[in-house]
Amino acid sequence: MKVISLIIGGLLFYLSCTQIDKSQSPMKYNKLTSEEEKVIIGKGTEKPFTGEYYNFKGKGIYLCKQCNAPLYLSDSKFDSECGWPSFDDEIKGAVIKKPDADGQRTEITCANCSAHLGHVFYGERFTEKNTRHCVNSISLLFIPGKSDTNPDTAVFSAGCFWGVQYYFDKLDGVISTTVGYTGGHTENPTYKEVCTGTTGHMEALQVVFDTSKISYEKLCKYFFETHDFTQTNGQGPDIGQQYLSAIFYRTVKQKDTAEKIIKILTNKGYKVATSMLPAKKFWKAEDYHQEYYEKNGATPYCHIYKKIF
């Protein structure tokens, strides 16, 4: 039965890779309306005092409308009466600041997908941090939660991203998960391109998690417990560079944590094939891959949980 299951699973994957419905156009990021595109892509500005989050008082996390990356905490939001949502600080590493072409203002964009957010101003003395991120509501998504939520992001590759997402969605403290491609050299990769094994990209999972509920170390341990990290040529029946086991660390602390866990596994006698790689740009996969097993009422065919730690 196990052999039959593997054959069926491999056939399912092959069909998904070679017979993709052409009516489903690849969507690297969330689909935007024409109005959202004018601001997020065209670097426009929504009318003052009209945005959804201008007078919004909810507690939680503000995400990028285009890619779901966490940007701001509600604790950093304040009322500047300027007509747009104002924040005096961003989540570390979430925002890129660069001068406008005319040098008059400093633009702020999402560090993950380059979506236009607005502009940042200094020296206005609205708060002790003396900083005001003036952000378009239309560039944001809001996830309600505790006001002391402290989000961080982790990126893992462990074979077919359907199964990886299936397991990580079960963890308490995980805010959101997104399947996609990373580690390679091809811009805007499609699923068919990644399947060729020539893009350098791996199928990966981006995990946004609340550090007050779950640690990066626990996520890493769970990563190793939900796939065969000793397999050197893929994962289960899925063979190829795009299915290799890898941890894409975003900080030195993440790197040190993952290396510590790999050392523990090595001392237990495991031959760890997992690569340690610095994080690169994460490209969101097509919509039909997101929450694949949840949508189709199925379970992973090449991932299984095995307690190790």
Active-site choice (67, 110, 160, 302): 160
Residue 110 appears among annotated catalytic residues: no
Helices 216-225/252-267 angle, 10° precision: 40
Dig out the tokens for 40 from the structure.
């997020």
70-73 β-sheet, strand order = 70-73, 60-64, 140-144
Active-site choice (64, 67, 134, 220): 134
Residues 166 and 296 sit within 8 Å (Cβ to Cβ): no
- Residues 46 and 212: their CA atoms lie apart, in Å, by 34
Residue 220 appears among annotated catalytic residues: no
- Residues 133 and 94: their CA atoms lie apart, in Å, by 13
Residues 202 and 233 sit within 8 Å (Cβ to Cβ): no
As annotated, the active-site residues are 134, 160
